[in-house]
Chains A and B, each alone.
Chain A
Amino acid sequence: MSVYLDHAATTPMFDVAIDAMNASLRKLGNPSSLHTEGRSTRKDVEDAREKIAQAIDCLSSEVIFTGSGTEADNAAIKGLFWHTDKKVIIVSSIEHHAVLDPAHWLVEHEGAELIEIPVNSSGTIDLDFLKKVLAERRSEIALISVMHSNNETGVIQPIAEVVQIAGDIPVHCDAVQSFTKVPLSFKELGLFAMTISGHKVGGPLGIGALILRRAVEIPALLHGGGQERDIRSGTLNAPSIVAFAAAVEAHLYDAKKVAALRDLFESGVVAARPDAVINGKGAQRLPGISNITFPGTQSDSLLLLMDSQKVSCSTGAACTAGVHRPSHVLMAMGLSDVLSQSSLRFSFGTTNTEADVAYALSVLPDVIERGLAANAVGRK
């Protein structure tokens, strides 16, 4: 059998989303055209926008469709920075590279100053640090960006508190992993901006959205036809938008089931390998992500061995050359360079079963043994 435990990377499209996408692909009409066909496609897009707005509790005009979560993060970080003449950007040290890299780019090219909020050993950000920085430098701060939950560990961050501490400073939140998995309200959180993505929630690859507070007009990354509040020009990708909304509307994610599978897996792992450490276990986590350190191993060996046993999981980070790199998230939590390269991420979805967990647990002990042996010769 083969077992897919990498739902945080991407998860199967729901049938309703595939059906909606197929129907839209067969339809003619540029949503910006004024004739009958154009209006019809535009209606599909606007229906979709309303469904997504409803799911995330925002105004439909606050939904700006993008080509990916990464694009939405870039638009938010760069846009909110260019929106003001303040120069300080605050992000958490465990952000996805889609947030960290545009922030570093602004430091290198636009004179920004970057402050990273540290996390504790459970992977939760240090709110006292944030309070202290704001007490000293509030007037200089352009924006704050903290993810809703971490993509490697699943640890949920205290966004409501961040917004409260921030006051009138714009706060962006990358909610790509959290959306549809845990309760999430754009309005209640009081955010300026939020990022979501289609393929993490049963929709297609290549569609995301920036949720941007009404009347906040940030400079665009893409200029052209003026679509999406003039913030994201480009012909609207109607089939993907429609499918994204269909997946969100169906809301087939079963958080309780996924959390039970995750817990079953983790207790099995710890029983088999008492030295295994579940990262972020002490914190509030998403239902489906389990990040586990196996001391004395190397993640890339473990991944190869799991893959050859038909279990798909993830090592976390890889550089452009495809080489496994120590995870900045785990290192921010205090793990050493070596231990952070001895970790695997298993992420569960609604399509997983108890039999999947049993199979993964059945191959794990041998994989770890071989991984330990491979590491022992590699480091002699």
Chain B
Amino acid sequence: MRIIAAMSGGVDSAVAAARAVEAGHEVIGVHLALSSNPQKYRSGARGCCTIEDSHDARRAADVIGIPFYIWDMADEFHEGVVENFMSEYKAGRTPNPCLRCNEKIKFAAVLDRAKAMGFDGVVTGHYARTRESENGRSLHRAVDPLKDQSYVLAVLNREQINGAIFPLGDTEKVDIRKEAQARGLAVAQKPDSHDICFVPSGDNAGWLRDRMGSEVGPIVDQDGNKLGEHKGAYTYTIGQRKGLGLTVPTEDGSPRFVLKIEPVTNTVVVGPREDLAVTSMRGERPIFCGPEVGAAPLRGFVQVRAHGAALDCTYYMENYQLVAELDQPLLGLATGQAMVIYDGDRVVGSATICETA
């Protein structure tokens, strides 16, 4: 096949591209420029969009022996991911921009462009596996549980999965580094990237305040009694305990947690830990990687964070929404996060959490 290798400049995508070449594909390396004003140097372990990263990707392509180009996706990234990130926070939800990027950029804008240009698919360094069956191709967890990225890929539909190649899912990260070393790739020991690439400081709250202002509002208890003030409701997350700056203690001295964020009134509601408990969730915009889920309840697992636990649940569709009822309550679940349903290690699908109870 003729495929595009999305190369971030990191070790994973470099090894993925090299493996795709070895598998006999005709591979062209592409680095996505996602920032219209990139920083020159990488700072710490965050981001993948600096000029230094694009240079690393180019050198990896040289070593692998494939052509290399840079595609400017800065506008698409800003519109599809960064603006969405801000508007979701503004609406009191907690978005995951990595899922959004996979859905809108890596496996949409890039895959569509690649197909239009005569390529058959996109290879990336994500840790996930695909399997072929009579029902078509399905998406599965990687063998390395610490690196498994099936959660952030669960926004891909069947067509996108069919155009994707994930060569790293069967290998543990430590072995990928060894393989990179053996292949002579200079990025073998480059640190993993974490957090949100367009927030290089890692300070999401500060980043949001810089762009959306910091309008002061009340922090109240569940009865509406004002306990303190906050600097912008959107900088808080459900379940957050630290950084509330409350001076009025609770009667029994127990800590308070953020229970609710009300963007319209710019109010943060706090309360005791037990009130964070969630036993069911509903998600909108469901996307199924395999066969669609219907109204009949099924048993499986739901995962609500990138490296969170797989929670036993019963799931089904109701009113175009994906519902998961948990066997055991979960503490602190924000709307805006993705709920990903698994059947064993197979990804069933995902939805954006819009309601919890």
Q: Chain A residues in contact with chain B, CB under 8 A?
A: 300-301, 303-305, 307-308, 320-324, 370-371, 373-374, 376-378, 380
Name the residue in B31, B38, B109, B117 with the highest tally of chain A Cβ atoms < 10 Å from its Cβ. Answer: B117
Give chain A residues whose Cβ lies under 8 Å from the Cβ of B112: 377-378, 380
The one of B38, B70, B72, B117 that contacts A374, using a Cβ cutoff of 8 Å: B117
Give chain B residues whose Cβ lies under 8 Å from the Cβ of A378: 76, 109, 112-113, 116
B44-71 vs A, CB cutoff 8 Å, 1 = contact: the mask equals 0000000100100010000000010111
A367 to B115, CA, bound (A): 13
Contact B72 A300, beta carbon cutoff 8 Å:
yes
Q: In residues 92-115 of chain B, which contact A (Cβ within 8 Å)?
A: 109, 112-113, 115
Query: Chain A nearest CB: distance from B6 CB in Å?
Result: 14
The one of A300, A374, A376 that contacts B69, using a Cβ cutoff of 8 Å: A300
Query: Chain B nearest CB: distance from A372 CB in Å?
Result: 8
Contact B72 A324, beta carbon cutoff 8 Å:
yes
B155 within 8 A of A: no
B152 within 8 A of A: no
Query: Chain B nearest CB: distance from A338 CB in Å?
Result: 12
**5 A-B pairs in the complex with CB atoms less than 8 angstroms apart:** A301-B117, A323-B33, A323-B70, A374-B117, A377-B115
A321 to B72, CA, bound (A): 10
Query: Chain A nearest CB: distance from B103 CB in Å?
Result: 15
The one of A300, A307, A320, A376 that contacts B71, using a Cβ cutoff of 8 Å: A300
The one of A303, A321, A373 that contacts B51, using a Cβ cutoff of 8 Å: A321
Give chain A residues whose Cβ lies under 8 Å from the Cβ of B249: none
The residue on A at minimum CB distance from B114 is A374
Contact A304 B70, beta carbon cutoff 8 Å:
no
The one of A308, A321, A376 that contacts B38, using a Cβ cutoff of 8 Å: A321
The residue on B at minimum CB distance from A378 is B113
Contact B117 A373, beta carbon cutoff 8 Å:
yes
The one of A307, A321, A377, A380 that contacts B70, using a Cβ cutoff of 8 Å: A321
Give chain A residues whose Cβ lies under 8 Å from the Cβ of B334: none
Query: Chain A nearest CB: distance from B109 CB in Å?
Result: 6
Query: Chain B nearest CB: distance from A23 CB in Å?
Result: 32
Query: Chain B nearest CB: distance from A322 CB in Å?
Result: 4
Assuming the contacts A308-B67, A378-B112, asked whether A370 and B117 have C-beta atoms less than 8 A apart, the reply is yes
Query: Chain B nearest CB: distance from A271 CB in Å?
Result: 23
Query: Chain B nearest CB: distance from A313 CB in Å?
Result: 14
Give chain A residues whose Cβ lies under 8 Å from the Cβ of B33: 321-323
Given contacts A321-B33, A321-B38, A371-B117, 16 further A-B contacts (CB under 8 A): A300-B71, A301-B113, A304-B28, A305-B118, A321-B51, A321-B54, A322-B31, A322-B54, A323-B33, A324-B72, A373-B116, A373-B117, A374-B113, A374-B117, A377-B116, A378-B109
Query: Chain B nearest CB: distance from A298 CB in Å?
Result: 9
Assuming the contacts A304-B28, A308-B67, asked whether A323 and B117 have C-beta atoms less than 8 A apart, the reply is no
State which size class the interface on B falls in. Answer: 20 to 34
Give chain B residues whose Cβ lies under 8 Å from the Cβ of A373: 116-117
A68 to B259, CA, bound (A): 64
A378 to B116, CA, bound (A): 9
The one of B58, B72, B113 that contacts A323, using a Cβ cutoff of 8 Å: B72
Name the residue in B58, B70, B116 with the highest tally of chain A Cβ atoms < 10 Å from its Cβ. Answer: B116
A303 to B72, CA, bound (A): 14
A304 to B71, CA, bound (A): 10
The one of A304, A320, A321, A324 that contacts B117, using a Cβ cutoff of 8 Å: A304
Give chain B residues whose Cβ lies under 8 Å from the Cβ of A324: 70, 72
Give chain A residues whose Cβ lies under 8 Å from the Cβ of B38: 321
A378 to B109, CA, bound (A): 6
Contact B116 A374, beta carbon cutoff 8 Å:
yes
The residue on A at minimum CB distance from B53 is A321
Give chain B residues whose Cβ lies under 8 Å from the Cβ of A374: 113, 116-117
A370 to B117, CA, bound (A): 5
Give chain A residues whose Cβ lies under 8 Å from the Cβ of B116: 370, 373-374, 376-378
Query: Chain A nearest CB: distance from B121 CB in Å?
Result: 15
Name the residue in A307, A320, A376, A377 with the highest tally of chain B Cβ atoms < 10 Å from its Cβ. Answer: A377
Give chain A residues whose Cβ lies under 8 Å from the Cβ of B28: 304, 308
The residue on B at minimum CB distance from A371 is B117
Give chain A residues whose Cβ lies under 8 Å from the Cβ of B117: 301, 304-305, 370-371, 373-374
B307-339 vs A, CB cutoff 8 Å, 1 = contact: the mask equals 000000000000000000000000000000000
The residue on A at minimum CB distance from B32 is A323
Contact A307 B113, beta carbon cutoff 8 Å:
no
The one of B31, B51, B74 that contacts A320, using a Cβ cutoff of 8 Å: B51
Query: Chain B nearest CB: distance from A318 CB in Å?
Result: 8
Q: In residues 60-91 of chain B, which contact A (Cβ within 8 Å)?
A: 67, 69-72, 74, 76
The residue on A at minimum CB distance from B118 is A370
A376 to B109, CA, bound (A): 11
A380 to B318, CA, bound (A): 31
A373 to B118, CA, bound (A): 10
Give chain B residues whose Cβ lies under 8 Å from the Cβ of A303: 69
Q: In residues 127-182 of chain B, which contact A (Cβ within 8 Å)?
A: none
Name the residue in A304, A320, A324, A376 with the highest tally of chain B Cβ atoms < 10 Å from its Cβ. Answer: A304
A380 to B72, CA, bound (A): 16
Which are the 8 A-B pairs with shortest beta-carbon distances?
A: A373-B116, A377-B112, A374-B116, A322-B70, A323-B72, A323-B33, A374-B117, A374-B113
A308 to B114, CA, bound (A): 13
Query: Chain B nearest CB: distance from A132 CB in Å?
Result: 36
The residue on B at minimum CB distance from A302 is B117
Query: Chain A nearest CB: distance from B19 CB in Å?
Result: 21
The residue on B at minimum CB distance from A341 is B72
Give chain A residues whose Cβ lies under 8 Å from the Cβ of B113: 301, 374, 377-378
Give chain A residues whose Cβ lies under 8 Å from the Cβ of B58: 322
A323 to B30, CA, bound (A): 11
Give chain A residues whose Cβ lies under 8 Å from the Cβ of B67: 304, 307-308
Give chain B residues whose Cβ lies under 8 Å from the Cβ of A370: 116-118
Give chain A residues whose Cβ lies under 8 Å from the Cβ of B115: 377
